[in-house]
Amino acid sequence: MYRPLRDQRILLTGASSGIGWHLALQLAASGARVVATARRESRLIELASKSSSNSKTNSAICYLAGDLTSAPFRQQLIEYTVEQLGGLDILINNAGAGAIGRFCDASPTRLRSIMEIDFFAPVELTRLAVPHLQKGNRPAIMLIGSVLGHRAVPGKSEYCAAKFALRGWGEALRCELHPVGIDVIMLSPSTTQSEFFENLHDTSGKLKNKSLGSTPPATVAKIAKRALQRNSRDIILSAGGKSLVWASRFCPRILDRILWTYGQPDDPR
């Protein structure tokens, strides 16, 4: 069933750049009421100002800056959203972080920091949001995952682990929340042109991301918005991403051989 976005009350994380930035603007332009969050308040101020100047629907973006890995901030964010919007219809868990490098060369801190941001933060934010979503209009939870949550690659073990966990949790959550009318939508982009790779955790500056092309964040945001409207279930973006997943399912040994040979991270030594 089609979900109109006008007047939908939406909480969006990771809105200071990339997919989140463009998605916030596109949702507001469609008439949705958006609370945007990220750590960089200056970028959120810029986002809200841009939305107000471009909006023809009077759907300005509200914002609250903070660290999603902080339990007190997550509670504050939910309370702020409900206060500003009068309730909550859609939660979009978009914030995330990554790292590049061999697992055995990294400290335990890298794994824990990635899991905190990419898995535990969205899970616990969702836990707080569900009681409000149950009272919402056509409520939904959107998880911005990754194609690497379907097939892991070398050099990104921590990020892959977090996205696999997010997808598994999301699949279980979808079944649990169906009886109360809350939809769960999983969007799995491939490499996206954003600041993501400029802010990698515990990563040598000599290590570079290896990927076959990339997608503009505005394009990913447009697909995410359409997925909300169409109430899609699970979307894998890009031909390369789909090819990676299908190759993993039907010829895993061949794909392993390719990744052993060509997918290793560059050695900075």
Domain boundaries, the chain: 9-262
Q: Residue 65: what are its φ and ψ, rounded to 5°? A: -90, 145
Closest C-alpha to 99, from 83, 112, 89, 86: 112
CA quadruple 132, 137, 143, 144: dihedral sign: negative
Q: What's the pLDDT score for residue 269?
A: 44
- The domain 9-262 is placed in CATH, from the list 3.40.50.620, 3.30.200.20, 3.40.50.1980, 3.40.50.720, at 3.40.50.720
Q: Would the pTM count as exceeding 0.85?
A: yes
d(CA 194, CA 211): 14
Give the residue with greater pLDDT, 265 vs 163. Answer: 163
Using one digit for the tens of pLDDT, what is the confidence trace for 199-209?
A: 675 565 555 55
pLDDT of 66 above 80: yes
Least confident of 39-48, 51-60, 96-105: 51-60
Two tokens at 225? 């918005």
Percent of the chain with pLDDT over 70: 88
Between CA 50 and CA 64 the distance in angstroms is 16
How many residues appear in the chain?
Answer: 269
How far apart are the C-alpha atoms of 31 and 256, rounded to whole Å?
46
What's the burial of 53, exposed, middle or buried (CB within 10 Å: 0-12/13-18/19+)?
Answer: exposed
The rounded distance, in Å, linking the Cα atoms of 164 and 136 is: 28
Interval 84-94: pLDDT, tens: 999 999 999 99
The residues that are catalytic are: 159
pLDDT digits (tens, 9 = 90+) for 123-164: 999 999 999 999 999 999 999 999 999 999 999 999 999 999
Closest alpha carbon to 87 in 134, 140, 29 = 134
Lowest mean pLDDT among 15-19, 138-142, 193-197, 261-265: 193-197
Q: Are strands 33-38 and 234-236 parallel, antiparallel or unpaired?
A: unpaired
- The C-alpha angle 99, 12, 75, rounded to 5 degrees, equals 90
User: DSSP labels for 42-111?
Assistant: HHHHHHHHHHHHH-SS--PPEEEE--TT-HHHHHHHHHHHHHHHSS-SEEEE-------S-GGGS-HHHH
Quickly state the pLDDT bin for 240 (edges 50, 70, 90): confident
DSSP state of 135: T
